């Protein structure tokens, strides 16, 4: 071989080995660097056992730190199929299937599971299987007894591969505000409401325990590689008040039954100055602690008997479809998800726009003949006979459609749409809840007919949360506030995030706002006002009625009322919507107004806001019955007369031994106190008469004739013409003691 050939061969060998070296280095680089982390993780998986530690979910509080939702530790039953198989082998190493069946049948019976499903889990070819999550204390105790070797060593050995893991279960102490709070699924993730919206904050961070495994695959004792503690979720503090929420829900449930509401009801109570939601509810609703159950919904579901019946059908497909239909309805938050034509409640905005733009003032005069010709249409007022001559304020008090059509036409298409946007009605409010709907409104130039019908709340659809937010701007000085339902997010380290009142827009002036507050108070306080059924003695309430159609010419209605108080300095505003009442009188002024009046009364009493009686009201304020027992008859007469009360003496003695009503009871002025100068016959009773449909004077006389005392209760201007007794506190036919006070609620028929 020549020297040249040897040199060429050496070069080729060198190149070959260099190429081989490059390949080796490249592969090492690829496995060590490019896929280094991946290979490291794979090695760790092979060499370690990894156990997840569930994080405890954060707590949800109301504004006063009352716990609305919290997590508690519960047991989850799990198993190691490989350990179970090992424990079920006989001396020859064969698996005793009879033992496996015994384990499966025993667990299935205790945990109320299917035996075959349990058998499949305990015979899987792995080391971990869930049997049942969140077992009861009784179920856990029964399994612990099986594992107790001091009771039965052989049984304990068979069940040594069955053990417990700690888990957490969500509990809702008050079981209210279900559509606000929402609920969690089996994996503890939020499924609805705040639980879902703020799931990332509430869920916390799971912990892990990594333990080394030996070559046989079993855990090596005391060779832990890492231990990462679980981190509890953050707590959420809401703006709602548990007591106010309870008040709202109580009256909405009453409304569902009393008015036979086919599509339920919803209500919102808000601080109009800050936008904070104090209460929000939809009825029927669901049980937070058992959100898939239908029982709580069915209790107040009206007109769904056919669907409810199908939930018990033997046809699986039909049954599942009916259950899904009901769950979709009962989980839906009408207050933010349902759009509707607001009807006359929207007149508050039209009136405010007209004043702000100078389209009218308090001296503006109008005439209502019962209808108005607009373009090619003749549009009627709700009072077909007409209201006659009226000024601006009277037009609002009467809720006259003709006046509002005229105002709308004066405002014009451009300005009307400009304010529609300014009041936040063209977009979602941004409340911190998932599922909010947007509005359906005119996006192009409006015709005269469009303006006329829109002026009194028809032809477009908005949500209750949009409407109450817009009306709050009218009464709070003109500021459109962003509705707020969360105050802060916090944890053990302090406040994570705070939420503050946020002004979205300045819509009208303080002067216009003050004028509107005054007019809307007259809507309730005036004997001829459409909102007089919301009147509460001693509280200055402003508001507006609303009755709107669902579709056209089908008889379906939505009755609503929005009220606020105190009228001169609003602290709360309340909107209630009653969907498809199945009663003769479907008007908001008749069925929604008294509801809101009662809600406002209880809420203001709870908030400690004192009543401000007018001079006329002060003369009819209830008085407290004095204690005249052991007094002389003459002295008793003087004490009772001093309170503005009447006295009836039973017996011929000189000293009072007993009295009815008892001391401390509140009664109306001119009520009668019976004093006994001899031992009272406790078996002597009187029968409560039927007062339905009577005027206040008639009801008072009928009760007096029966030896009973009369009191005006609930909402409603009882002294106004046309008021009739709607409800009495003690049912007709009840036997009661003489002089018992019967409270009577009065209502007025309304056409708005």
**3-state secondary structure at position 458:** coil
Rounded-to-10 torsion of CA 747, 617, 621, 726: 0
Cα–Cα distance for residue pair 268/266, rounded to 1 Å: 7
Pairing label, strands 741-747, 709-713 = parallel
Cα–Cα distance for residue pair 456/345, rounded to 1 Å: 8
Cα–Cα distance for residue pair 662/268, rounded to 1 Å: 39
Residue-wise DSSP of 544-579: EEEEEESSSSS--EEEEEEEEESTTS-SEEEEEEEE
Q: Does 154 score more than 90 pLDDT?
A: no
pLDDT digits (tens, 9 = 90+) for 18-67: 777 777 777 776 666 666 666 666 555 555 555 556 678 999 999 999 99
Under a CB-based contact definition with an 8 Å cutoff, are residues 207 and 53 in contact? yes
Q: Does 425 score more than 90 pLDDT?
A: yes
Where in the chain do CATH 3.30.10.20 domains reside? 617-747
Span of 373-382, 423-432, 546-555 with lowest mean pLDDT: 546-555
Give domain 617-747's CATH architecture: 2-Layer Sandwich (3.30)
Of 333, 327, 348, nearest in space to 395 by CA: 348
Q: In this structure, what token pair is assigned to residue 56?
A: 């405890």
User: What's residue 2's pLDDT?
Assistant: 62
User: What's residue 36's pLDDT?
Assistant: 62
Could you tell me if residue 608 is left (phi over 0), alpha (psi between -120 and 50 degrees) or otherwise beta? left
The enclosing H or E element of 50 equals: strand 48-53
Under a CB-based contact definition with an 8 Å cutoff, are residues 595 and 561 in contact? yes
Span of 25-29, 361-365, 693-697, 734-738 with lowest mean pLDDT: 25-29
Q: How far apart are the first and last CA of the chain?
A: 118
Q: Which residue has the higher pLDDT, 223 or 170?
A: 170
**3-state secondary structure at position 118:** helix
What percent of the chain is modeled with pLDDT above 70?
91
- 563-589 core/surface letters (b: 16 or more CB in 10 A; e: else): bbbbbeebbbbbbbbbbbbeeeebbbb
Of 416, 392, 415, nearest in space to 402 by CA: 392
Under a CB-based contact definition with an 8 Å cutoff, are residues 174 and 119 in contact? no
The vertex-618 CA angle with 614 and 620, nearest 5°, equals 125
- 691-703 core/surface letters (b: 16 or more CB in 10 A; e: else): beebbbeebbebb
Q: In this structure, what token pair is assigned to residue 179?
A: 């559509």
Confidence of residue 391 (pLDDT cuts 50, 70, 90): very high
pLDDT digits (tens, 9 = 90+) for 431-472: 999 999 999 987 778 899 999 999 999 999 999 999 999 999
With a CB cutoff of 8 Å and minimum separation 6, the contacts of 131 are: 77, 78, 79, 107, 111, 113, 118, 121, 122, 162
Q: Does 674 score more than 80 pLDDT?
A: yes
pLDDT digits (tens, 9 = 90+) for 53-103: 667 899 999 999 999 999 887 888 988 888 888 888 888 888 888 899 999
With a CB cutoff of 8 Å and minimum separation 6, the contacts of 608 are: none
User: What's residue 661's pLDDT?
Assistant: 93
Pairing label, strands 479-481, 388-391 = unpaired
Under a CB-based contact definition with an 8 Å cutoff, are residues 288 and 68 in contact? no
Of 418, 402, 531, nearest in space to 456 by CA: 402
Under a CB-based contact definition with an 8 Å cutoff, are residues 574 and 600 in contact? yes
pLDDT digits (tens, 9 = 90+) for 518-529: 999 999 999 999
Of 575, 576, 571, nearest in space to 607 by CA: 571
Span of 73-82, 237-246, 519-528, 733-742 with lowest mean pLDDT: 73-82
Under a CB-based contact definition with an 8 Å cutoff, are residues 722 and 692 in contact? no
Q: Among the options 168, 337, 344, 455, which is catalytic?
A: 344
Under a CB-based contact definition with an 8 Å cutoff, are residues 548 and 541 in contact? no
Q: Does 598 score more than 90 pLDDT?
A: yes
Whether 454 is catalytic is no
**3-state secondary structure at position 150:** coil
Tell me the range of 26-30, 127-131, 232-236 where mean pLDDT is highest: 232-236
CA distance readout (Å), 593 to 567, 583, 642 = 16, 15, 37
The enclosing H or E element of 512 equals: helix 510-525
Where in the chain do CATH 3.90.1310.10 domains reside? 69-169
Of 528, 562, 515, nearest in space to 543 by CA: 562
What percent of the chain is modeled with pLDDT above 90?
62
Residue-wise DSSP of 302-327: -S-HHHHHHTT-S-HHHHHHHHHHHH
Confidence of residue 6 (pLDDT cuts 50, 70, 90): low
Cα 128 from chain centre: 41
pLDDT digits (tens, 9 = 90+) for 177-229: 999 999 998 778 899 999 999 999 999 877 665 555 444 444 444 344 445 66
**Counting runs of H as helices and runs of E as strands, what totals does the chain give?**
27, 31
Q: In this structure, what token pair is assigned to residue 496?
A: 């994570």
CA distance readout (Å), 313 to 31, 172, 237, 462 = 61, 31, 43, 37
For the chain, the helix, strand and coil percentages under 3-state DSSP, each to the nearest 5: 35, 25, 40
User: 69-169 adopts what CATH topology?
Assistant: Penicillin-binding protein 2a (Domain 2) (3.90.1310)
User: What's residue 216's pLDDT?
Assistant: 47
Average pLDDT estimate for 107-118: 92
Of 432, 430, 436, 422, nearest in space to 479 by CA: 422
User: What's residue 300's pLDDT?
Assistant: 81
Under a CB-based contact definition with an 8 Å cutoff, are residues 428 and 414 in contact? no
| Residues across the chain | 752
Confidence of residue 670 (pLDDT cuts 50, 70, 90): confident
pLDDT digits (tens, 9 = 90+) for 471-497: 999 999 999 999 999 999 999 889 999
Q: In this structure, what token pair is assigned to residue 421?
A: 């946007």
With a CB cutoff of 8 Å and minimum separation 6, the contacts of 189 are: 199, 203
- Give the phi and the psi of residue 7 in degrees, each rounded to 5: -65, -40
Of 371, 291, 302, 304, nearest in space to 332 by CA: 291
Q: What is the mean pLDDT of the chain?
A: 89
The enclosing H or E element of 101 equals: helix 97-111
Average pLDDT estimate for 692-720: 89
User: What's residue 311's pLDDT?
Assistant: 85
Under a CB-based contact definition with an 8 Å cutoff, are residues 672 and 646 in contact? yes
- Give the phi and the psi of residue 223 in degrees, each rounded to 5: -125, 55
Question: What residues pair up with 226 in beta bridges, in sequence order?
Answer: 210
The enclosing H or E element of 74 equals: strand 67-79
Average pLDDT estimate for 133-144: 87
Under a CB-based contact definition with an 8 Å cutoff, are residues 436 and 485 in contact? no
Pairing label, strands 67-79, 129-135 = antiparallel
User: What's residue 31's pLDDT?
Assistant: 65
**3-state secondary structure at position 210:** strand
Q: Is the dihedral of CA 710, 716, 719, 721 positive or negative?
A: negative
């Amino acid at each position: 071989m020549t020297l040249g050939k040897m040199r060429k061969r050496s070069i080729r060998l060198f190149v070959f080995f260099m190429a081989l070296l490059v390949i080796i280095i490249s592969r090492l680089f690829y496995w060590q660097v490019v896929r280094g982390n991946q290979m490291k993780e794979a090695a760790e998986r092979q060499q370690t056992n990894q156990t997840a530690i569930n994080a405890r979910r954060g707590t949800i509080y109301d504004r006063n730190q009352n716990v609305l939702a919290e997590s508690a530790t519960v047991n989850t039953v799990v198993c190691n199929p490989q350990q179970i198989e090992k424990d079920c082998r006989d001396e020859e190493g064969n698996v005793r299937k009879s033992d496996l069946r015994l384990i499966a049948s025993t667990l299935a019976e205790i945990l109320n599971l299917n035996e075959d499903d349990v058998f499949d889990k305990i015979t899987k070819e792995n080391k971990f299987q869930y049997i049942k999550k969140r077992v009861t204390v009784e179920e856990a105790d029964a399994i612990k007894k099986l594992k107790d070797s001091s009771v039965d060593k052989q049984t304990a050995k068979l069940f040594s591969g069955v053990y417990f893991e700690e888990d957490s279960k969500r509990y809702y102490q008050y079981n209210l505000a279900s559509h606000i709070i929402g609920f969690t699924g089996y994996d503890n993730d939020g499924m609805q409401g705040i639980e879902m919206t703020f799931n990332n904050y509430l869920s916390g961070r799971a912990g892990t325990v990594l333990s080394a495994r030996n070559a046989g695959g079993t855990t090596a004792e005391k060779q832990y590689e890492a231990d990462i503690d679980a981190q509890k979720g953050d707590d959420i503090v809401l703006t709602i008040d548990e007591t106010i929420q309870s008040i709202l829900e109580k009256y909405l449930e009453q409304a569902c039954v009393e008015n036979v509401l086919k599509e339920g009801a919803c209500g919102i109570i808000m601080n109009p100055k800050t936008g904070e939601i104090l209460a929000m509810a939809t009825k029927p609703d669901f049980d937070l602690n058992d959100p898939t159950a239908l029982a709580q919904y069915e209790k107040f579901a009206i007109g769904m008997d056919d669907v409810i019946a199908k939930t018990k059908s033997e046809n699986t497909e039909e049954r599942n479809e009916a259950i899904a239909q009901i769950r979709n309805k009962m989980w839906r938050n009408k207050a933010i998800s349902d759009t509707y034509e607001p009807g006359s409640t929207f007149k508050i905005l039209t009136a405010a726009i007209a004043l702000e733009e100078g389209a009218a003032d308090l001296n503006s005069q109008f005439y209502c003949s019962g209808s108005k010709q607009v373009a090619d249409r003749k549009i009627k007022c709700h009072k077909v006979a007409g209201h006659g001559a009226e000024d601006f304020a009277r037009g609002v008090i009467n809720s006259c459609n003709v006046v509002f059509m005229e105002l709308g036409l004066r405002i014009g298409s451009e300005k009307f749409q400009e304010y529609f946007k300014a009041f936040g009605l063209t977009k979602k409010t941004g409340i911190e809840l998932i599922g909010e709907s947007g509005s359906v409104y005119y996006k192009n130039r409006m015709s005269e007919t469009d303006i006329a019908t829109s002026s009194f709340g028809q032809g477009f659809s908005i949500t209750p949360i949009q409407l109450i937010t817009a009306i709050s701007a009218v009464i709070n000085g003109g500021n459109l506030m962003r509705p707020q339902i969360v105050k802060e997010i916090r944890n053990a380290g302090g406040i994570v995030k705070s939420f503050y009142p946020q002004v979205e827009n300045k819509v009208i002036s303080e002067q216009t706002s003050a004028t509107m507050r005054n007019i809307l108070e007259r809507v309730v306080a005036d004997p001829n006002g459409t909102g007089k059924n919301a009147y509460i003695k001693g509280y200055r309430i402003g508001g507006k009625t609303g009755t709107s159609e669902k579709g056209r010419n089908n008889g379906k209605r939505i009755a609503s009322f929005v009220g606020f108080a105190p009228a001169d300095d609003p602290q709360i505003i309340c909107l209630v919507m009653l969907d498809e009442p199945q009663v003769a009188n479907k008007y908001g002024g008749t069925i929604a107004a008294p509801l809101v009046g009662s809600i406002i009364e209880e809420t203001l009493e709870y908030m400690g806001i004192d009543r401000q009686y007018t001079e006329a009201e002060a003369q009819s304020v209830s008085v407290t019955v004095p204690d005249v027992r052991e007094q002389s008859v003459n002295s008793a007469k003087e004490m009772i007369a001093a309170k503005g009360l009447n006295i009836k003496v039973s017996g011929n003695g000189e000293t009072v031994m007993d009295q009815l009503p008892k001391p401390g009871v509140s009664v109306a002025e001119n009520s009668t106190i019976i004093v006994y100068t001899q031992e009272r016959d406790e078996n002597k009773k009187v029968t409560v008469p039927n007062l339905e449909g009577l005027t206040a004077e008639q009801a008072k006389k009928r009760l007096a004739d029966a030896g009973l005392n009369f009191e005006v209760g609930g909402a409603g201007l009882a002294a106004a013409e046309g008021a009739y007794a709607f409800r009495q506190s003690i049912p007709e036919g009840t036997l009661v003691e003489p002089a018992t006070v019967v409270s009577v609620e009065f209502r007025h028929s309304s056409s708005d």
